[in-house]
Amino acid sequence: MDLDSTNFSNNNFDNIELIKLNQWTLDPLKKTLTDHNGQCINLEEKPTLLLVYLAKMRGKIVTREQLIEHVWNNRYIDDRTINATISRLRKKLGGEKNDFIETLTKVGYSLTCNVEFIEKGSPEPVNVSAQKSKPKTAKLTLYKLYIILTTLIIFVGLWLLFNEPSQTKKTLTPADVAIEPLTYMEGWEYSFSLSKNKSLLAFLHRPSQDSNSNVFVQNMTSKKTIAIEPNARTKAPTWAADGNTLFYQTYGQQQCWIKKITISANLTLGESEKVTSCGKLSLGTKMFVSRDNRWLYYIFAESALLPSIIKRFNLDNKQTETLTAPPVTFLGDRFFSLSFDNSKLAFIRDYDDISRVIMVLNLSSGELTLLAKFNFIQTSLAWTKSDKEIAFITYDNTLQLINVKTKDVTKLYQHSTTIQDPLFISEDELLLSFGNASTANIRQIDLNHLEPKSQSLVSSAFSDHSAAYFKTPNNEKFAFVSDRSGSYQIWLKENNVLSQLTHFENKSYIIKMSFSANGEKLLINLDDHWHVFNIKTGNLLKLKRPGKIIRSTIWQCHSNDNILTIADNNGILNLYSLNVTTQKTKQLVRGLTSIYSDCLTNKYYAAIVENTGIHQLNNDWTINQSLHYFPEIPFATELPWAVGNNAIYRRDDDNIIWQFNVLTKRMKKIGLANDYYAEISIHYNTMLIHDIRVADIFIGKLTLPESID
């Protein structure tokens, strides 16, 4: 029998009844193992098929691809399924780990025990390597019966093969995998790149909330560090393939530049050199250099009014190529990763409706593939070393893998705190940033005072955010989101009494809260859907979407049942009113991108698609072109703004909050905001801001369990 040419999937073992494996005798048809003492062990379908195939390939290395082809019939499975099947076989066979099945790390498997095949009707075992044809002595009727039974078993086996339920895969946690810290500086270390020989680690460091981030380089042996241009704003470090040239971005005077610098093993710096422009905005996203040191890939952002795109710069001829053209108005392609074979780009595309998709661009053919659409995935992704899967992180701190071919998603690892910036450095090793970026308290600023000053509202050792304020002559209360109970829930502080309003079982993402006119309902954004929470009854009502909700959803002034929301219908932004009770909607006006209200004067203000600045709305919801404020500012993008009593507030690039009085036309500075909570929240002419304190984020190495069991 020529084993190399045998097609196992078509089952050419018709003449084989039993297989001897040391002390065991395998019956493939009965799926049993029997030892010398007659003890019988039952096997499942897949372990039986796998063991027969390994026996057939005795003395040869069997790869995972061969097992997928011949045992799983080319059905998509992940490594854990094969690992689990091998583990079950080893437990059944007993002995030491390699007594029967040997693992050749990152190569495959091989059967190491003695293997003998026994033909039907043969009293003696037949060695495969010296097998000879023997006359069949079984009766014809028994032989026909055997053929019928064999065919039936094969049919049933194939049915089970194609209908086998997918196995539940265990998501790894810190209890399963040890984390090796690589950086030790106080503050944040994130957005990193490892040199080719793994001796130098470049990363961003930010020691405090008020300081800029700077690129640092650390020697992995001595742990010595050095800053690159310490007096400048530097971002996005990435190593070239030669291992001693570092590319990075600098930003100043509304101009982003890509530079390069040589760095020796002992951290001696060469002269920095400008390479090319990365636009007028600095998004700080990662860059990549091709293995041949020919192409530099980066994000280009010309202005806040145009979507960001992916470009590449030829380091030889200094020519630039544009690779993507997102069909959006404001956001665009902002985060990406280059495959290890340099043939594909994976990137996150942000749409105007705030949805996010993962896409893959084939750099040779130009073919663009949409892999998946997600809500609230974090802003980083990375190819695995095999280039078969892309890693990304969801808001619940779960590292997931999406298969480029099948689009199947697997949860790989979940951490208790924030993780970001995955970088695979081998098949089973990856780097991540670990730790929550900050702790947050809530402060209030009474805007009725001539010289407003901030005062503490909610203070704790936990992260408190997204507060809402309600006030009447006889009552005052605050609702806010906090993780003080172990997960983010809504809390209420009323008459100095603190109570927990919600008890969501899953890890929920809660932002943007506001009270109804009577203070009995809360409008909240929960997991990217708007809901109304009844404080008295505890009922949570999910609101109907008139389209894809964008940016603003607010209570209509003096109402407990009607809200205003901006939604995208077929690419057109419309303002709708929505009744909470009936869930009926009505279109009010087209072309708005965000809306806020001054309910003390019953006025509404909006940013619009066609123009910069803020416009006041007329009573019929149309745009008042004559009442135009901040005309030079592109509020149609994500710039934060809000409305108080006869005043409009905005935050600038330096996190300073400015007040513009619409009656006196005067501008003045109110205070300093935080750039990690973009929104400005104003309730009853009281501004709520977050008092952020930088926590420690470190870069660590995660070593996954051996990819081949």
Which tens digit of pLDDT belongs to each residue from 482-499?
888 878 899 999 988 899
Question: In the predicted model, is pLDDT for residue 120 greater than 70?
Answer: no
Question: In the predicted model, is pLDDT for residue 657 greater than 80?
Answer: yes
CATH architecture of 438-694: 6 Propeller (2.120)
Q: Quick check: do 3-162 and 179-435 share a fold?
A: no
Range scoring the smallest mean pLDDT among 341-350, 505-514, 561-570: 505-514
Q: So what's the pLDDT on residue 638?
A: 59
Q: Whose CA is closest to 21, among 153, 125, 119? A: 125
Q: So what's the pLDDT on residue 262?
A: 96
Average the pLDDT over 104-121 and give the result: 78
Q: What strands lie across the sheet with 214-219, from one edge to the other? A: 188-194, 200-206, 214-219, 225-228
Average the pLDDT over 535-540 and give the result: 93
Inter-residue contact 120 to 139 (CB < 8 Å):
no
Q: So what's the pLDDT on residue 165?
A: 43
Phi, psi at residue 99, to the nearest 5°?
A: -65, -30
- The distance in angstroms from the start CA to the end CA of the chain is 31
Average the pLDDT over 316-339 and give the result: 89
Q: So what's the pLDDT on residue 278?
A: 92
Q: So what's the pLDDT on residue 12?
A: 46
The residues near 253 (Cβ < 8 Å, ≥ 6 apart) are none
pLDDT band at residue 136 using 50, 70 and 90 as cut-offs: very low
Question: In the predicted model, is pLDDT for residue 126 greater than 50?
Answer: no
Inter-residue contact 390 to 399 (CB < 8 Å):
no
Question: In the predicted model, is pLDDT for residue 350 greater than 80?
Answer: yes
Question: In the predicted model, is pLDDT for residue 118 greater than 70?
Answer: yes
pLDDT, tens digit (0-9, with 9 covering 90-100), for 171-217? 898 888 889 999 988 888 999 999 999 999 999 998 876 677 899 99
Q: So what's the pLDDT on residue 18?
A: 86
pLDDT band at residue 123 using 50, 70 and 90 as cut-offs: very low
pLDDT band at residue 537 using 50, 70 and 90 as cut-offs: very high
Inter-residue contact 220 to 176 (CB < 8 Å):
no
CA-CA distance, 280 to 626, in Å (whole number)?
A: 31
Q: So what's the pLDDT on residue 66?
A: 86
pLDDT, tens digit (0-9, with 9 covering 90-100), for 302-326? 876 678 999 999 999 999 999 998 8
Inter-residue contact 215 to 197 (CB < 8 Å):
no
Q: So what's the pLDDT on residue 379?
A: 73
Q: How does the average pLDDT of the chain come out, rounded?
A: 83
Inter-residue contact 657 to 150 (CB < 8 Å):
no
CA-CA distance, 336 to 338, in Å (whole number)?
A: 7
Domain layout of the chain by residue ranges: 3-162, 179-435, 438-694
Inter-residue contact 657 to 650 (CB < 8 Å):
yes
Q: So what's the pLDDT on residue 342?
A: 95
Question: In the predicted model, is pLDDT for residue 654 greater than 80?
Answer: no
Average the pLDDT over 382-408 and give the result: 91
What are the angstrom distances between the C-alpha of 68 and each of 18, 55, 65? 24, 16, 5
Range scoring the smallest mean pLDDT among 42-51, 98-107, 570-579: 98-107
Q: What is the DSSP letter of 196?
A: T
Question: In the predicted model, is pLDDT for residue 648 greater than 50?
Answer: yes
**pTM, full prediction:** 0.60
Inter-residue contact 356 to 377 (CB < 8 Å):
yes
The residues near 58 (Cβ < 8 Å, ≥ 6 apart) are 3, 111, 115, 128
Q: So what's the pLDDT on residue 340?
A: 95
Q: So what's the pLDDT on residue 154?
A: 58
Question: In the predicted model, is pLDDT for residue 618 greater than 90?
Answer: yes
% residues pLDDT > 70 (the chain) = 84
Average the pLDDT over 109-116 and give the result: 85
Q: Which one of 30-44, 66-80, 447-461, 576-590 scores highest in mean pLDDT?
A: 576-590
Interhelix angle 140-162/45-56, rounded to 10 degrees, is 110
CA-CA distance, 638 to 36, in Å (whole number)?
A: 75
CATH architecture of 3-162: Orthogonal Bundle (1.10)
pLDDT band at residue 583 using 50, 70 and 90 as cut-offs: very high
At 611, list the tokens. Answer: 């123009």
CA-CA distance, 246 to 667, in Å (whole number)?
A: 44
Average the pLDDT over 90-103 and give the result: 82
pLDDT band at residue 169 using 50, 70 and 90 as cut-offs: low
Average the pLDDT over 116-130 and give the result: 54
Q: Which residues pair with 310 in a beta bridge?
A: 299
Q: Whose CA is closest to 422, among 348, 337, 507? A: 337
Burial letters for 456-485: b for 16+ Cβ neighbours within 10 Å, e otherwise? ebbeeeebbbbbbbbeeeeebbbbbbbbee
CA-CA distance, 581 to 96, in Å (whole number)?
A: 67
Inter-residue contact 539 to 556 (CB < 8 Å):
no
At 474, list the tokens. Answer: 């006889």
Domain 179-435 listed as CATH 2.120.10.30? yes
Burial letters for 408-443: b for 16+ Cβ neighbours within 10 Å, e otherwise? ebbebbbbeebbbbbbbeebbebbbbbbebbbbbbb
